[in-house]
Every structure is written in C-alpha cells, then in structure tokens.
Amino acid sequence: MGVSSNLFYFNYMRKKKELKAFLDQKYKEYNRKSFIDSDPISIPHQFTKKQDIEIAGFWTAILSWGQRVTIINKANELMRLMDHTPHDFILNHKEKDRATFLDFKHRTFNNIDTLYFLEWLQQFYKKNNSLESAFMINQDLNDFNMQEALQNFHAEFFSLPDYPTRTRKHISNPGKNSSAKRINMFLRWMVRKDTKGVDFGIWDNIPISSLHIPLDVHVHRIALQLKLTNRKQSDWKTVVEITNNLRKLDPKDPGKYDYALFGLGVLGKDAIL
C-alpha cells in the first residue's frame, strides 16, 4: 500500500470513527422515554400483553403518515373501536361488530382497508400466537433476509381471497423498490432490545442486526448530509445503502441510528412522518 493509499485509509478511518462517535451521542440523546408521548409509539405503549402491543403497533405504524398528533388521535380512535383490548377484539369479534368501523378514515386509508385489516388479523391470530411468524415465512434463522421477509409478509397479508386491490398500497413491498418505511419502523419497535424503554424488544427470532432504517424525508436528508448515501431517490436501494453504511458503525444494531438520524432531522419540531 503506497503513501497516498495509506493516507486515504487513515482519513477514512478517522472520519468513520468521528461519525460513529457523533451518531452514538445523538442516539443516546434521542432514545429516551420522554420521546414516547409525542410519538406514534405511544399507542402500543398503552398495553402490556404481547399481542395487544403487536396489533396496536402494526396498525399505528401503517397509519403513520401526516401530522404526528393526527396519527396518534386516529390510532387512539382505532383502539377505542376495539374496546382497548385489540387482541381479544380481533379474535372474538363478529361480523356485526365491524359496523362501528365503517366511518373510520385516515387520509387515504378508508373503511374498505379497515375491514380487510380486521379480517386478515382475525384469520391470522386464529392460527398464530404472534405476528412475528408472518415475517419469518421461509426464513433461515441463521441467514435472515429482510427484503425477502417483507416480500413474503406482503404476499401473506394479501393471501385471503377477494382482497381489495386498493389496500395493497398500504403494505409496502421492497420487491417493488418501496422504501417500506412504516414496516421497518414497526419492526424496530418489536425487535430492538435495550434498557431505554422506548422499543419493546418482544420478538426473539428476527435478528436485531437485520433491521433496516425507516426512510422518511428527515432521515434521508440527514443521511445525504452525512454521506451515508448519495442517492436522491427514497426507495429500497437507498434504504439498503444507508443501512449498510450504518452497519459498518455498529454491525449488531444498525437500527439504533434511526434515533440519531430522525432526531437530527426534526430538531424538535412537529414532524411530518
């Protein structure tokens, strides 16, 4: 290795070390319980039962676009419609009980989508104990592939006969190069484990190291500024590039840097998700 090559490597490693120290500091700064109340994750934090957390977290994540206060209000409305016992309601409700959901709407998510979510969740939980298993279809525990897992989940979610075509847009598919922001956010909530009390860490099969960054406008802007990506498109390829670069900083837990990037992006302002 020549002098110029040695100098390039030295500067690269120094910048990498500085970037890691900076993002680790911001991760610690933003990963705190005071973050919960003003964030959609506050909805699943209302519950202690694993399945309640899963259902509340999944549906809230899917609704997470627009003003955060509106997201929280609409998700709370859903919890009220499920009598604040989402798992019990999903398992045991009858067709007539769905009538109260006909007026539910959030942006482009309407009653057609709501009724299909109720149907799929009921059919799924009648056969399965945890929503995690829907993300483990055809996955090797020792060689977990997130893109394949999300594609298989998408196929599973729309496996019921006569599903409404319009609802497909609400469950992202990285096979179509979607960034899958909301699903990645939900998975971070369920999979990451630490002592800070924000993420739940109630799933044990999906490796923490496999989590991908939930890419929104804030995260993308900061990632560009920090040279974690040069891609201007908000798509799955960009998600993979940013995540792979963060994995160089922490191979075991790249998803933790979502706190740093998102926190830096919103700077305490009311975020548009």
What pLDDT digit, counting tens, does each position of 8-22 carry? Answer: 434 555 688 899 999
What pLDDT digit, counting tens, does each position of 181-200 carry? Answer: 999 999 999 999 999 999 99
Give the pLDDT of residue 270. Answer: 38
Across 246-263, b (16+ Cβ under 10 Å) vs e yields: bbebbeebbbbbbbbbbb
Give the pLDDT of residue 267. Answer: 58
Distance CA 219, CA 209 (A): 19
pLDDT higher at 273 or 251? 251
How much helix, strand and coil, in percent to the nearest 5, is found in the chain?
A: 60, 0, 35
- Tell me the three state secondary structure of residue 218: helix
pLDDT, mean of residues 117-126: 98
pLDDT at 49 over 80: yes
pLDDT at 140 over 90: no
Distance CA 132, CA 115 (A): 22
Q: Count the alpha carbons within 13 Å of 140 in the hemisphere toward its beta carbon.
A: 3
pLDDT more than 70, % of the chain: 92
CB atoms within 10 A of CB 190: 25
What pLDDT digit, counting tens, does each position of 217-249 carry? Answer: 999 999 999 999 999 999 999 999 999 999 999
Helices 68-81 and 50-62, axial angle in degrees (round to 10): 130
